[in-house]
C-alpha cells in the first residue's frame, strides 16, 4: 500500500471528525484572474460546515508592495484570533481544486507555531461531487487568542536569496509551470520579466498532485530526485508570489525535509528588479 503524507487528511476522515471539539476547518481557496473563479463568492454560496474563510489578499504585510507577503507575527495573531483559531487547535485547510492554495495556509500556520495543521486531499470540488455535506450558513466563531511562535527559518527574504544565488551552493525549486520558468510565455503580472532565478530547477507543483491529492511518498521522492534535487540537503522553494511554492514545501516535509524554506517574494519580487540576474531557457 502506498504511503501518504502525515500532513494530509482524507474526505472520509474529515466528514467523520468535522464536529470534533478543537477541530478548525479553513477554506483557503484563492484563484488567479485567468481561472475566472471568485473564492469568497464560492465560499458564501457553499462551504464545508464549520469552515472559516481565509483571505489570502487580506492576511498579508500591509506595508509590502508585493502580493501575499507574509505578515508580521502581530498581524497574523490578530487575523487568526479573530477567526477563532488557537495555536493548539487541530487545523484542516482546503481549497477548491485541492493542493493549490491550501498548502500556503498550512505553511503560514506552521510558520507561526501551529503544530497540528493538515490539508484536505481532493479539495472542496471533489467533496461536493461526492455529495458530502455543504452549507451556505455563515460560520460563527468566538474570538480566541492565537499566540504565535514565529519560526523565521521557514522563509527566505530577498537578501538571503541573493546570497544563495551568488554562492551557487543552495538548491532552488521553482513551482511555476515550465513555460513560465523557461521564459517562453510572459508573466501574468505587469512589470515582471520572464525567466527564472539562476541555479533554480523547474518543479511544477502540479506534478506533485493527482486529482487534487498529494501523490504518495515514493512518487514524491522519485519526482524530486528526477529533477536532480538532493533530498539529503535543504531546498528553497519559489513560485510566482509565494503561494504554490508551498505545495513543494508540503511535499518536502512529507518526505522528511522539514527544513525546506520558502522564498516569500518569489518571482514577482525577483523578476521585477533591475539588480537580480535572470536566466531563460531550461
- Give catalytic residues, as residue numbers: 239
> Rounded to an integer, what distance in angstroms lies between the CA atom of residue 269 and that of residue 192?
8
> Rounded to an integer, what distance in angstroms lies between the CA atom of residue 183 and that of residue 180?
5
* Cell representation of residue 251: 511535499
Residues with Cβ within 8 Å of residue 174, at least 6 apart in sequence: 181, 196, 197, 200, 201, 202, 203, 237, 238, 239, 267
- For residue 48, which of 19, 21, 8 has the smallest C-alpha distance? 19
Amino acid at each position: 500500500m502506498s504511503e501518504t503524507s502525515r500532513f494530509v487528511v482524507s474526505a472520509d476522515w474529515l466528514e467523520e471528525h468535522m464536529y470534533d471539539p478543537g477541530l478548525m476547518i479553513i477554506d483557503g481557496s484563492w484563484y488567479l484572474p485567468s481561472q475566472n473563479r471568485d473564492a469568497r463568492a464560492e465560499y458564501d454560496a457553499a462551504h464545508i460546515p464549520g469552515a472559516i474563510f481565509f483571505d489570502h489578499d487580506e492576511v498579508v504585510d500591509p506595508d509590502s508592495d508585493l502580493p501575499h507577503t507574509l505578515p508580521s507575527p502581530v498581524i497574523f495573531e490578530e487575523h487568526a484570533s479573530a477567526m477563532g483559531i488557537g495555536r493548539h487547535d487541530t487545523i484542516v485547510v482546503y481549497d477548491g481544486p485541492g493542493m493549490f492554495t491550501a498548502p500556503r495556509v498550512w505553511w503560514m500556520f506552521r510558520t507561526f507555531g501551529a503544530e497540528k495543521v493538515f490539508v484536505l486531499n481532493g479539495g472542496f470540488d471533489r467533496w461536493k461531487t461526492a455529495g458530502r455535506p455543504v452549507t451556505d450558513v455563515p460560520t460563527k466563531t468566538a474570538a480566541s487568542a492565537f499566540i504565535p511562535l514565529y519560526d523565521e527559518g521557514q522563509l527566505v527574504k530577498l537578501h538571503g536569496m541573493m546570497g544563495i544565488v551568488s554562492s551557487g551552493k543552495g538548491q532552488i525549486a521553482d513551482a511555476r509551470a515550465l513555460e513560465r520558468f523557461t521564459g517562453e510565455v510572459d508573466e501574468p503580472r505587469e512589470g515582471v520579466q520572464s525567466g527564472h532565478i539562476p541555479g533554480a530547477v523547474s518543479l511544477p507543483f502540479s506534478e506533485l498532485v493527482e486529482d487534487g491529492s498529494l501523490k504518495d511518498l515514493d512518487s514524491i521522492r522519485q519526482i524530486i530526485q528526477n529533477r536532480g534535487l538532493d533530498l539529503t540537503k535543504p531546498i528553497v522553494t519559489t513560485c510566482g508570489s509565494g503561494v504554490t511554492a508551498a505545495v513543494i514545501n508540503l511535499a518536502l516535509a512529507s518526505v522528511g525535509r522539514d527544513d525546506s524554506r520558502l522564498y516569500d517574494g518569489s518571482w514577482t519580487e525577483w523578476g521585477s528588479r533591475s539588480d537580480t540576474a535572470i536566466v531563460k531557457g531550461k
